[in-house]
Amino acid sequence: MGWLTMSRYHMGGHETAKAYLDAQFTYSRDVDGITKGLKVLASSCPQNRTYYAAAQVMVDGVAGDIFAIVCKVMWNPKSKTGENFGYKDMDESMGPYEDSCPGRILVLLTPTDREYALDWRRRCRANLDRRARKIEDGDRIKLASALTFSDGHVGDEFIVVKRGRRLSFRDPESRYGYAISRFMEREWTIVPVTRVHKTIFA
């Protein structure tokens, strides 16, 4: 399915992309005397970029399988063209590229044998594992692949500068600072550093 775009005035009174999509994917319809529909059990739309939801199949009020819905989201409340909101929907069996689904949604999904859905769930869990890694201020890290920055610097080893939840990175030689996008989702290792401890005499 392609993109569907609209102004905020056509969002049915919903103030956010998440609220609108929750309503869109919670519905029931009578088909040949049978009431069929979906019910969104949990959802998330971080930074209004990607919507993830656990949706349960409902048939005549009986709850069935739970699968994941993924929507790419465009959110621009100040759009001068009136295209404030847009989305492109798919389900997990289509193998979405977006694979940052929160764990609280993944755990609700019922088992599936669909190959693309299984691969998508595996990628999401791998991302969760990467984001859960511990890193401290002063750690030296090595990226699996070197990055090229806007100033022309190419590097794969950096010193971590951690201020609360905010991370930045310093080149070990030049001491210049750099930002690395989606760092916790990248492949990296901590470089062991030999620390010299003070000798304490009794």
In tens, the pLDDT along 128-170 reads: 998 888 899 999 999 999 999 999 999 999 999 999 888 999 9
The residue type found at 51 is Y
Query: Which positions of the chain have pLDDT values less than 70?
Result: 1, 194-202
At residue 200, the pLDDT reads 66
Distance CA(163)–CA(81), nearest Å, equals 39
CA atoms 45, 124, 4, 76: torsion sign: positive
48-53 own/partner pairs: CB under 8 Å, 24+ apart: 48/16, 48/17, 48/18, 48/73, 48/75, 49/73, 49/75, 50/98, 50/100, 51/17, 51/18, 51/21, 51/87, 52/98, 52/100, 52/101, 52/102, 52/105, 53/21, 53/22, 53/25, 53/105
- Say what the pTM is: 0.79
Residues 189, 191, 197: CA angle, nearest 5 degrees? 145
* CA end-to-end span of the chain: 75
Structure tokens of 83? 């295209």
Beta bridge pairs of residue 66:
56
